[in-house]
Amino acid sequence: MAATRNPAKKPAGQKAAKRTKKPVASTLMKMSAATTGKPAIKSTKRSAKRQTNDAAASRLTQLGAETPQPVSPGAAVLETAPNPHQGDLYLVRFTAPEFTSLCPITGQPDFAHLVIDYVPDKSIVESKSLKLFLTSFRDHGAFHEGCTIDIAKRIISVAKPKWLRIGGYWYPRGGIPIDIFYQTGAPPKNLWLPEQGVPSYRGRG
């Protein structure tokens, strides 16, 4: 007499499959740990941080867009992006060898070679917005001292760097070159700080 089959009883293969089935997330975490030595949760955190930085960078209004020249420094928008290496001490240098402004009395053009050094904290200065900010001075009347220090203070107020210095190397006005130097304090310890490399004005000699 043939044995009756129990309909509730499942084949051994199905039982084994059920026992070995594991949550996908747990499997991925173990695979990540096996290949990289670090749990997948850290990768998830890094991904979230990157998404946050990308979202902050996407708020830039001038980079990659057609932007009109600001009519004045006050109308210029200086923008920042997240610092991609907040845990590192490093220097950023901007050089503007053809900076132009106007004498506030005579209206004649003044020219300078600017060197801006700063140590980022949470933000870095977006370079296109800085270029537009600097060129907004070309119809702006101010003395050398005013232009140089105003630029430094604007960057400080927007980017909040750990440290900043600016060298304003101006071409002669009335036969006298005027150079302006400013920094926020002593440079951070262990910072590689190269010379600005702009010699004092020597005329033709």
- Catalytically active residues are 103, 110
Residue 97 CB neighbour total at 10 angstroms = 11
Q: Could you say which DSSP state residue 73 is in?
A: T
How many Cα atoms sit within 13 Å of 5 on the Cβ side? 3
160 backbone φψ class: left, alpha, beta (φ>0; ψ -120 to 50): left
Residue 61 structure tokens = 């209004």
E strand or H helix that includes residue 146: helix 144-159
First to last CA, the chain: 120
Classify 71 as helix, strand or coil.
coil
